[in-house]
Structures are given as C-alpha cells and as structure tokens.
Amino acid sequence: MIFVVGIKNADILEMQSITQEASQVFLAADSSDMSDTEQEILTSIQTSQKYVATTASDGKILTVCPQLDECLVFVGGRSLNQPTCLVHLAPDPSSRDIVFLIDGSDDSQRRFPDITDFVQRIVRDLSIGPDSDHLAVVQYSSTAEINFNLSRFMTEDDVLEAVDGLTHKGGYPKNIGAALQYVRDHVFTPESGSRIRQGVPQMLVLLSGGRSGDDIRTSVRLLKEMGVSIVAIGTSDADTLELQTISHEPRYALSVTDYEELSTVKQDVLLLLREPSQHVVHSVDFDSKKSDVVFLIDGSYDSRNGFEEIRAFIQRIVENLNVSQNGDQVAVVQYSRDATANFYLNSYSSKSDVLSSIRTMRHKLGRPLNIGKALEFVKDHVFAASVGGRGADRASQHLYLFSGGRSGDDVRGPAQILKAKGIKTLSIGTKNADTLEMQTVAYTPGHYFFVPNYENLQRIHTSVETKLRDSQETTEFTTDTSTDVETEHQKADIVFLVDGSDNMQPNERLILEFVTDFVKKLEIGPSKAQVALVQYSTEPTADFTLNRYSVKEDTLNHLSNVKLKGGGSVNTGRAIDFVRNTIFTASSGSRLQQGVPQVLVLASGRKSEDDILRPVGMLKNAGIVVFAVGVGSADRSEMERFAPGAWYFLKESSDFPLVRQQLLSATAALRGSVSPGIGSSSTMKRDIVFLIDGSDDVRNTFSTIREFIANLVQNFDLDHEQDKVAVVQYSNKAEISFGLDSFSTKDDVLQHIASLKPKGGRPQYIGAALQFVKDKVFVSNAGGRKNEGAQQILVVLAGGRSRDSPRGPATALKRGGVVILAVGSKQSNSAEMQAISSDTDYTYSVPDFVNLPRIQQLLMRRLTGIKSQETTEGKGEGLKVTYIHSG
C-alpha cells in the first residue's frame, strides 16, 4: 500500500497517480501540521488486509506477523533493511462477501417485510466481522441502488439494524439483467469493500418475484467469469429457467410460492453459502475502466462557420480523457450526404497523436445532411471490433453527435439500434437543427444539449463533461427493445399546464389530442398515475385536479369536452405559481410526501409576458420535475430555461409516440429518487450559509461571486421563512457580512448581497473560517434553527489553498449535521475541497470564479435534493448523518 504525504507545493495529481486510492493521499500545510495525517495513516495500516511475512531463502513462508511493526523479512536467516517480498494473505477461509440483491419493485411492496425478515434470519447465522463475513444489500426494479455496501457495517447488530430500517424502493419493471450488471460494476469492487483481491469468496443471493424485463445473459456470464457464486430464489411468478440460468448451478436455484415462505429455504441458502470448495474467486482487473469515444461531426455546409469551434470543443473533451491502448480510445467521423472517418478507435494510442490529428483535420463539406445514414456508418464501421471497438470487452461506448441542420433521412431506426447496443449518444444541436430529431438520437432526454450556434459550445462544456464522466462511472439502465415503455405501470402525479390563449387556437386540436393520447397510455388510479389539467392565458384555471378522477374513462370523457379558454395575454410565470400553490398540494391529491414523482408538462405556444425564472426555481425546489412541449410560435430558448435538456417540439400528430415515450421513460426513471422539496408542498426549513473567499486574490472576480449567490437566493423561499441565508467572508480571519437572523425577506437579502464588497487580506485560513461558522453562525443565538429541525447547509467558495488544515473543523460541522458543498477554483486544492465537502458529489471545480455560472444549475439541483434527516448516534463512531441527494 502506498501512502503519499504532500507538503506545501506538492502536486495533487502527481500524488494521486502514485497511490492506488485517492484516500491514501494526505496534505499538510507544513511539517508541524502532520499529527492528523499520522493517525489517519496508522488507522489505514491497522485495518489493511495485507501482511508482511518472514520467508526462507527458497521463498517459503515461515511466519506471518499480525502487527506490521513486529515484522521483519528474513532470507536465509539474515535480516535485510528492505523487505524482499510482500505476501497477500487471504483472511480466514470462513469469511465471505455476501450481497443480497432483493426485489424492490412495486409488485413486492406488500411482502417487503417478509424479504427483510428473511435477510435478518440469514444474518443471524453468519459471522459478521472485519475478518469474517461482510454483507451488502441492493434493491432493484427498473434500476438498482445500493442500500449499504460491503464495507459499511462490521458487526451483526449494525447489519440487522440497517436491514430493519430499509425503505422499499418501488418501480417497474424488474430489470434483473441491468441489476446484475450494476452489482458487478459497483458492489463487487474494492472501492465498495469487496475483498476479491484477497481471495475472499464472492456470493450473491438474488430474490426475484417475476420475469426480468431485460436480457440477463451477458450480466450473468460476466459475474460468473469473475467467480461470483449466485443463489437465485424465485416466487411462483418468477421464470424457473431464468433462475437456473442465473444461479451458480441448477441446485442453487430455489423456489417458494410467495415471499412469505422464504423462511422455508433459509437452511438451504446457508448450506449453499457454506460450500467453500464451490466458490473460486478469479482474477479481475478493476482498474481498467475504459471508454470508446466517437465524435460524429456535421461536416456539411450548415456547419462550415462553426467548424473551428467544434474542433476546439472536441480538443477540450479529449484533453480530459485517458487515451492509451488499454484506456480510452477516440475516433472522429464527419458526415454530410455520406460519412467519412477521419480516424478510427485503434488509429492512435496516445493523446498527443489524437490531438495532432484533430488539429490538422479539414472540413468535409457537402449536402444534404443524412444523420440516419451517418449513425448506421458509425454502428457498422466505427464501433466495430475490427477497427478497435471494445463493446464486448466491457468498455463503455459513447457517441457525440453535432448537427447544424435537419436530417434528410430518417434517424429513428439507427438511433434505436445504437441504444439497444448500449451506446450512449449525446446530441448537440444548433437553432437550425431539428429538436425532435436530436432528442430521438440522444440516449436519454438529459443527453441532448441545445446551443443557439456553435460559438456557444464552450458554455455547455462542463455539463457535457459531467454527463460523460457520469456515464463512464455508472451503469445506465435502458428498457429492453422488446419492452413497450408506453404500457409500463407509471406511478406519478402528472399535471398538464396548457397555454389556452387565443394564440393557441390554430394548434388547439394538436395539443389537446396530445394530452388525450398521453393519458390513454397511463394506468389511472389512486395507487397508480394521477392526472390534472390546468389552462392559462392572463390567469390560470384548473379544468380538473389530481384527485378529481380515479378511472381512466372518466378522465378521457372530460378531456373529450375540453376547449381552450382563450385570452390575449400569456402569463406563464403566474400559471406556474398557481400550479405549485394550488395543484401540487395534498388537498388537490398530490402524493409528494409519499415519494411519488411530481411532474409538470408545460404546453406552450408563445413566449411568456411575465418572468418565469423565479416561479420555475420555486417549482423545482418543491421537488417537481418539469418538461416543456412547444407548438406553433413557442420560444425555444424559454423552453430550454424552463426545462434544460427536457423540452420537445410538436409539429404534427406523428410526433406523439416519440415525445410520449421520452416523457414516460424520463418519468419512470424518477422513481425511487424523488423526495419532498422545500416549496409549498414541504415543511422543511433550511439554514443556508455561504462562506466565501473575500481575500485580495478574488478582488477581480468578486462581482461574479455576488451574482452567483444572488441567482441561487432567487430560488429560495425566504419570504415564508422556510429558508434563511447568511454570508460570511474569510481571508486571514472570518467575519459575518450578515447572519441568519439579519433579514426576513428575499428583497432585503438580495439588496445586501448586491452591496457586498470583498473584505480583503491574505492568506486564506479556511480551517479557522469553518470553525468560526460552527461557533458563531449556525448557533441558535445567531438565528440557527437546528433545534427546530432545520437542515443546515454550508456552501464554501475557495479561490486558493488554505494555510491551515480544514479537516478537523469540517469533520466537526458534518458530525453536527451540517451538509457542506465546496466550490474551488484552479488555485484551490482539490483534495482540501473533497475533505471539506460532505461527499465527493458535493465538490465542484471551476477554472476561476468568472466561470461560476457554469455550475449554477448543478449546484441548485444539489441544494434542491438535500433533505433533512434525523441525526442518530452511531455505534462507536460518534454521529451518523445520512445525506440524500438527487441528480
């Protein structure tokens, strides 16, 4: 194990490249600031599964030392200054890594207590401990999620308590194949606590209550290839042949009538888990994450003025890839009437060669633009194994499509085939591109980006890179091509907000038929989908609320008699406020507090005459997901602001199936991840403190910091005292610009933010500033409302490296229940930012503070997803805090 301690000007990236794990890098301001580092390294060594052994001259192991400081290595009886061998010793043969992959779909909700009881019964007969059995639990439905991983709990009591506290995931259908792939990629890994490298048997216990909605074969093969032994337990609704295919061997497939009879197979499961001779762990390379990245560039006359911007954008993406023969590979293709490869995936094995080729490539030119044909070419001739495609070798495969105009051929068929192959297509279109085409090609609605022209590409660079990184690190679940998304059970509250003004009259039939067609594909009912319809022009009016109809026929009957209300003005902002305050409420049938997805579909025919940004921000804060559908003269840039990456344009009724399917798929993906937000539908309070760098180093960018905070505050609910805001500046010392109890209205807060000036001073002492916030700002006598159940959130903006250690004060804040988000510039220290934040997902980086607007949406989304949780005593670990985040 390699530990690296850096002092002062050490290079963090260089240090991380030396170690096996980022957690083995430590930073100290100077040699006197190393006491915390010393203890952390000792703790890591003591919990390591690696031992130093004494050996004879022939290499045979003579003794094994239980403590590292007791070990010497002897060769032929002579002590050496340097050990000549390090031996990985497997722990006790009785130890196992056991993962329970349990049915969390809607179908299992009634019997979920029987499932958790069964898991607890198994646990009581295991030997849970650091050197014994480790346990993880994962739930699956349409997607999979970890409840806790293999390294989380090391005592039987902790595991039993965690299982007892499990919440049913919900969702439909049961995608067992995707769940098995998820477990392989995210649970049976060293990062999640798997001891596969130490030879510990890897066991999976699958509970299935029905047939899988996707293909299982590839996932099963990959799991078995790495030596995972699978016990598959199915109810009478499960497919017997499928269970036998999944299981280690046919006798590892067990059957019960229903989940309430699981206790009858308990002994069988224990016997199978205890067959050590059956469970052979194979060697797996976990450090070989690799991607095949293909850029499909519009080479037609439509893009000739933006070709240099496309080239620069691609170069920035490539700069952040790990290009090598066993790492990432890159290909570039241009298309117009037909497609031509500039170079293939296996053409170059170094980043410098790839960048050199990109710099020298010439614009193809030509017309028309045949996107469908280009997608076919990429599928058949670029992602092919013969030219370097590694889809069969577990490489994630990504396609970036740039389009400056409408396609001259059909894109639907080729796009579907690419998705079925697991190729994640990200589409970028200009104002001349066809939005619906771009959304058809994109892997999900969130994989589509709009720019007015190619000169604006750099604005979306951070968002695009984040999407690529997320796709590389997570398994995304697609519905098998044989599954009809439109007929899936959808449990959601869906409100249609329709522009009913005079301007919409030419499109009245189109939009009302779309709503009707959409509802026909839903299962309506109190425990299924609920639908409401609101029209607006100058003022909004509810045609019917969410709890008005519980039968689909009644809903459709009402829709068949709806006419647009008319009106000369279009006040979309006022209508959004009306929906949030009146329709998405418990009295109107909203089930937000039960975790049911809340969805607003705005159908717009022209640009709003009032402000929509504040109402939309409040809507999203309330936990409501928004989509936009445009017709006629709808303003595309307004729809993009309303629903970034989730807006659609209807031209004719033939567009219905695609838009409907995209909306339903996106809604289905929300399940299990929706929690009450902070708007009128929630009673959660938040104390939000901004701790900002006010030193001399940020004097030139301080106005951007001010604007950034003001834009975030615009989305907070200050006037109803749901949220309170404070701002603290720091440099060599910290001082309060205004506290949580200083202002009670949003206007007052915004006015004071606008007048902020940098306090000045240097150097930066972030550790002392964090301690100041803990002692002086979040406390009750300064307006802190922790005792009232408020969630306390700290947003740190750092423009440089700290001269003291922030670890201790940050840990104290987190143990006190404060959620910390850290934003650093390139002058700050990334390891410090990660140490400060509550999670690596809560850490953000920008080149400098001028670029803060790039992460504003991401940060706002993260703030929206933080939900207040009860802080409880951990066992021997102080306070245990749970963070729930969205996105």
Question: Contacts from 49-58 at CB under 8 Å and sequence distance 24+?
Answer: 49/88, 49/89, 49/91, 49/195, 49/198, 50/1, 50/86, 50/88, 50/89, 51/87, 51/89, 52/83, 52/86, 52/87, 53/85, 53/86, 53/87, 53/89, 55/84, 55/85, 55/87
Instruction: Write down the pLDDT at residue 16.
Output: 64
Confidence at 662, pLDDT banded by 50, 70, 90: low
Bond from prior residue into 173 cis (ω within 30 degrees of 0): yes
pLDDT in tens, 505-525: 988 989 999 999 889 888 888
Stretch 454-460: mean pLDDT, rounded?
Answer: 78
Strand partners, 426: 400
How is residue 721 written in tokens? 């005292």
To the nearest 10°, report the CA torsion of 59, 60, 65, 66.
120
How is residue 375 written in tokens? 């997608």
Whether 488 has a pLDDT exceeding 90, the answer reads no
Whether 427 has a pLDDT exceeding 80, the answer reads yes
pLDDT in tens, 769-803: 999 999 999 998 899 998 877 889 999 999 888 98
How would you class 227 by CB atoms within 10 Å of its CB: exposed for 0-12, middle for 13-18, buried for 19 or more? middle
Confidence at 420, pLDDT banded by 50, 70, 90: confident
pLDDT in tens, 305-351: 888 889 999 998 898 888 887 789 999 999 999 999 999 999 998 88
Round the CA-based radius of gyration of the chain to a whole number and report it. 29
Q: What secondary structure letter does DSSP report for 583?
A: I
pLDDT in tens, 611-654: 887 788 778 767 788 888 888 888 877 887 777 656 778 877 77
pLDDT in tens, 37-59: 776 677 666 555 434 444 444 44
pLDDT mean across residues, the chain: 80
Q: How far is residue 691's CA from residue 736's CA, in Å, rounded to a whole number?
A: 9
pLDDT in tens, 585-612: 888 888 876 667 889 999 998 999 988 8
Q: Is the dihedral of CA 254, 259, 262, 264 positive or negative?
A: negative
Instruction: Write down the pLDDT at residue 670.
Output: 54
Contact predicate 215/222, CB 8 Å: no
β-pairing, 843-845 vs 819-824, is parallel
Q: Which of 403-417, 672-686, 768-782 shows the lowest mean pLDDT across its residues?
A: 672-686
Instruction: Write down the pLDDT at residue 478.
Output: 36
Tokens 């952040």 sit at which residue?
320
Residue 443 CB: number of other CB atoms within 10 A?
Answer: 22
Whole-structure pTM value: 0.35
Stretch 122-134: mean pLDDT, rounded?
Answer: 93
How is residue 869 written in tokens? 């949780």
How is residue 519 written in tokens? 């509802």
Instruction: Write down the pLDDT at residue 65.
Output: 43
Largest CA distance in the chain: 97
Whether 821 has a pLDDT exceeding 90, the answer reads yes
Q: 646 or 162: which carries more pLDDT confidence?
A: 162
- Please count the residues of the chain: 887
Instruction: Write down the pLDDT at residue 666.
Output: 61
Contact predicate 450/643, CB 8 Å: no
Question: CA 209, 215, 217 angle in degrees (round to 5)?
Answer: 100
Least Cα distance to 232 among 284, 222, 216 occurs for: 216
Q: How far is residue 528's CA from residue 547's CA, in Å, rounded to a whole number?
A: 12
What 3-state class would DSSP assign to 316?
helix
Q: Is 844 left (phi over 0), alpha (psi -120 to 50) or beta?
A: beta
Q: How far is residue 318's CA from residue 265's CA, in Å, rounded to a whole number?
A: 53
Exposure of 737 in the CB half-sphere (CA atoms within 13 A): 25
Whether 15 has a pLDDT exceeding 80, the answer reads no
Least Cα distance to 252 among 235, 269, 237, 238 occurs for: 269
Rounded to 5 degrees, what are φ and ψ at 171?
125, 165
Stretch 212-221: mean pLDDT, rounded?
Answer: 84
Residue 638 CB: number of other CB atoms within 10 A?
Answer: 20
Whether 827 has a pLDDT exceeding 50, the answer reads yes
Instruction: Write down the pLDDT at residue 515.
Output: 93
Sheet arrangement for strand 339-343: 339-343, 329-335, 291-298, 396-403, 424-429, 448-450
Residue 700 CB: number of other CB atoms within 10 A?
Answer: 12
**DSSP E strand boundaries for 430-478:** 448-450
How would you class 65 by CB atoms within 10 Å of its CB: exposed for 0-12, middle for 13-18, buried for 19 or more? middle
pLDDT in tens, 838-853: 877 788 888 888 888 8
Q: How far is residue 313's CA from residue 449's CA, in Å, rounded to a whole number?
A: 14
> In Å, what is the CA distance from 522 to each residue of 25, 71, 517, 550, 599?
52, 67, 9, 12, 14
Give the distance, in angstroms, between the CA of residue 277 and the centroid of all CA atoms in the same chain.
39
Instruction: Write down the pLDDT at residue 542.
Output: 93
Q: How far apart are the first and last CA of the chain?
A: 34
Instruction: Write down the pLDDT at residue 247.
Output: 92
Whether 115 has a pLDDT exceeding 80, the answer reads yes
Instruction: Write down the pLDDT at residue 672.
Output: 43
Bond from prior residue into 615 cis (ω within 30 degrees of 0): no
Contact predicate 538/610, CB 8 Å: no
Q: Write the CB contacts of 194 (distance below 8 Å, at least 6 apart in sequence).
A: 97, 150, 187, 188, 200, 202
Stretch 457-468: mean pLDDT, rounded?
Answer: 73
Q: What percent of the chain has pLDDT over 90?
A: 35
DSSP secondary structure string, 849-882? GGGGGGGHHHHHHHHHH------EE-SSSSEE--
Q: How far is residue 591's CA from residue 515's CA, in Å, rounded to a whole number?
A: 21
Rounded to 5 degrees, what are φ and ψ at 685?
-105, 155
Contact predicate 720/744, CB 8 Å: no
| Residue 22, amino acid | A
pLDDT in tens, 237-265: 888 888 988 998 888 999 999 999 999 99
Whether 377 has a pLDDT exceeding 60, the answer reads yes
Q: 315 or 451: which carries more pLDDT confidence?
A: 315
Q: How far is residue 321's CA from residue 887's CA, in Å, rounded to a whole number?
A: 23
pLDDT in tens, 558-589: 999 999 999 989 999 999 999 988 898 888 88
